[in-house]
Structure 1
Amino acid sequence: MQLRQLNFRLLEVFQQVVEEKSISAAARKLHLTQPTISAQIRRLEDVCAAELLQQEGRQMIPTLAGEHLYRACGDIMRRMHECTQAISAIREGDRGTLKISLVNTAQYVIPPLVAKFNRQYPDIGVELSIGNRSSTLQRYNNNADDIYIFSHPPSDSMVKAEPFMANRLQLIAPVNHWAVQQCEPVSFQQLVDEPFLMREPGSATRMVFDTWLAGRGLYLNHTTQIESNEAIRISVAAGMGLAVLSEHIIDHGSDAVARVNTEGFPLPGQWYMVSRNDSSNANIIDKFRVLALTANL
């Protein structure tokens, strides 16, 4: 058999003749002429180098070779039908893979959304990448993912950014800290000599806090840099100092920390869902975006 000379039209014609048991009936079904059907059957027999159909009374019946080819036709057509459906689902965004890159703080925000998305779209796989702002920004620049979660999205002509959830920053201290015990709000000026645990430069939390301090002409006298929100929360609970963290980190922890009632806090903020305007996965991205914007978590 010369496989390179086969095509789907020849197989479709042969399959139709076998099922209709008639060249004329197959011609009507396929909207072709009888001579065209006959010519294509002869061509297929030449390709296979075997007789595929034989006349029995008024019916066309497959030979033994024809029966094998008919079964193969069924397998091929069924797989191509499945393939067509799969491609259509992918094109419509009902099947495929969604890659999401998020900054560390958002690890408490995104998993519930992903779980809801998985229930609603079981044929769409989700891959999560978690890192600091610098690594997530690098992934955005490399176009490595479909969606990026930032509290401060990048700004360039390809960015499509939408706020979808509040991300307020809280000032926290050990539960037995003197500032926590006060009935009245504490002036932040009273806290500048306290030890503060800070995220690394470039972190969105650090950027917001530094901007807030600079805007009020405040300077912290004792700071320790820790490149982990979890480690900062644990360290505050252990009495190492005060810190400014996203309320999502505080709410999901069991460590003994307390919010400090002080002027200007909590600092306002938002989570942004970021994608690129040139993304080839727009349909799936839109499905996740709609879910995130309407989710009541």
Structure 2
Amino acid sequence: MLERQHLAILFEVDRLGSLTAAARQLNLTQSALSHAIRKLEERCGTALWEKDGRQLRLTQAGEYLLKLSKRILPQLERAEQVLGDIRSGQRGTLVIGMECHPCHQWLMRVMQPYLEAWPDVDIDLKTAFHTGGVADLLAHDIDILITPDPYETRHIHFTPVFAYELVLAVPEHHELAKAGFANPQDLLSETLITYPIEPERLDIFTQFLLPQHCYPYKHRKVETTEMMLQLVAAGRGISAVPDWLLRERTEELNIRAVRIGQGGIHKNIHLGIRTGENKTDYIAGFLDISRVTKVTTPH
């Protein structure tokens, strides 16, 4: 059977020019080196090299295996390096699950420094889950879950990485733009624009409207933050969004941020990982970069 050692012997003999030097490089005795090639020749039924005075001359079979060694040995060395990196947490595929629509903009700010710091780690992003983000995390379908609504279990640990306030985005000349904050009753005559999520999972409903038995005049759902803000700017409704999303767009779109209730709705982006996996280097690296990634917030 052809083994890596056979290819290494042919490679080093060709590179160093002698059996003695090759044996020293491979930590073998010259006798053991010659014996290994002789056994291979017996199994193959053909000679690999012949002596030409004090020199060795490769046969056609030997030349073939030498060319093979020059292709395969670097690949094997590379494979061992990659496996070592994976074992030590320096390399792998990081699968990120996201349960938060506006978190996409925040994640993009994390991605650039992370990809630069971890060039050997591949990234995959999932926004659709088989049975929910926590279940997919437990099933090892994802490695990190990004969510503003953590559900901690014995096997999952959530880390808050970025605090923000949920605010109402309203047109510049809207009556609420002049108010210090909005009351639930203020939305009874409004079109509320949200992401395509059930009201039972939206903070503007669960923490603000429903406790006061209020419901907006109309509830409109759209897929993207950009579309949502454009509709608000056009006077087609108001929306509840993270404060930092409005910072760069307030003046451009002529929209204003209004506090939701006198105390506001304060949230955190959390990263959930399986217990103990914070010791995996490239996961720990993502957590570290996430903690220091800042986004601007409105004054």
Q: TM-score of the superposition, structure 2-length normalised?
A: 0.79
Alpha-carbon deviation of 1:269? 1.0
Alignment gaps of 5+ in structure 1: none
Query: What residue is the counterpart of 1:146 in the other structure?
Result: 143
Say if 2:158 is the partner of 1:158. no
What SS does structure 1 have at the residue aligned with 2:119?
coil
**1:44 and 2:35 aligned:** no
Q: In the alignment, which residue of structure 2 is the partner of 1:112? A: 109
Greater Cα shift, 105-114 or 76-85:
76-85
Relative to structure 1, the CA distance from residue 239 to residue 24 in structure 2 (aligned partners, 3 Å threshold; closer, same or farther) is closer
Rounded Cα–Cα distance in structure 1 between residues aligned with 2:228 and 2:20: 80
Distance 1:280 1:6 in 2: 42
How large is the Cα RMSD of the aligned pairs? 3.2
Q: Does 1:7 align with 2:6?
A: no
1:219 aligns with 2:213: yes
Matched, 1:293 2:288: no
Local SS of the residue matching 2:33: helix
Per-residue Cα deviation, 1:109-158 (whole angstroms, up to 9, x for no partner): 101211222223233222223359x8545643543222111011122222
* Counterpart for residue 190 of structure 2: 195
Aligned ranges 1:1-297 → 2 under 5 Å: 5-102=1-98, 103-130=100-127, 136-137=133-134, 139-140=136-137, 142-182=139-179, 185=180, 188=183, 191=186, 193-195=188-190, 197=192, 199=194, 200-201=197-198, 206-207=202-203, 209-212=205-208, 218-228=212-222, 230=225, 232-251=228-247, 253=249, 255-260=253-258, 263-277=261-275, 282-297=280-295
Structure 1 residues 92, 227: CA separation in 2 closer, same or farther (over 3 Å shift)?
farther
| TM-fit CA distance, 1:279 | 5.7
| d(CA) in 2 for partners of 1:73, 1:105 | 52
User: Are 1:113 and 1:295, in contact at CA under 8 Å, matched by a contact in 2?
Assistant: yes
For 1:234 and 1:272, the matched residues in 2 are separated by 28
Structure 1 residues 173-182 or 280-289, which shifts more? Answer: 280-289
User: Partners in 2 of 1:142 and 1:84 — Cα distance?
Assistant: 28
User: In 1, Cα distance between the equivalents of 2:176 and 2:27?
Assistant: 86
| C-alpha distance in 2 between matches for 1:247 and 1:77 | 55
Aligned residues with identical type, % of pairs: 22
Going from structure 1 to structure 2, the CA distance change for 1:187 and 1:169 (only over 3 Å counts) comes to: closer
Contact 1:195 1:221 in 2 (8 A): no
Specify the code of the residue in structure 2 equivalent to 1:172: A
User: Which SS does the other structure have where 1:286 is aligned?
Assistant: helix
Structure 1 runs (4+) deviating above 6 angstroms are none
Which deviations, in whole Å up to 9, do the C-alpha atoms of 1:40-64 show, x marking residues without a partner? Answer: 1211112332222222333333233
> Which range moved further: 286-295 or 107-116?
286-295
Structure-2 change in CA distance of 1:46 and 1:128 (3 Å): same
Seen in structure 2, the aligned counterparts of structure 1 residues 35 and 181 have a Cα distance that, compared at 3 Å, is: closer
- CA distance, structure 2, for counterparts of residue 88 and residue 149 of structure 1: 28
Q: Quick one: distance in 2 between partners of 1:280 and 1:188?
A: 42
Distance 1:268 1:95, change over 3 A: same
TM superposition shift of 1:20: 4.5
* TM-score, normalization by structure 1: 0.80
Q: Is the 8 A contact 2:231 2:237 kept in 1?
A: yes
| Cα offsets for 1:89-116 (capped at 9, x unmatched) | 3333433322212121201110121122
- Contact 2:82 / 2:91 at 8 angstroms: preserved in 1? yes
Please report how far the alpha carbon of residue 288 of structure 1 lies from its aligned counterpart in structure 2 after TM superposition.
Answer: 1.3
Partners in 1 of 2:259 and 2:273 — Cα distance? 37
Asked if the contact 1:53–1:66 (Cα under 8 Å) also holds between the matched residues in 2, the reply is yes
Tell me the distance in 2 between the aligned counterparts of 1:33 and 1:7: 18
The answer (yes or no) to whether the contact 1:18–1:60 under 8 Å persists in 2 is no
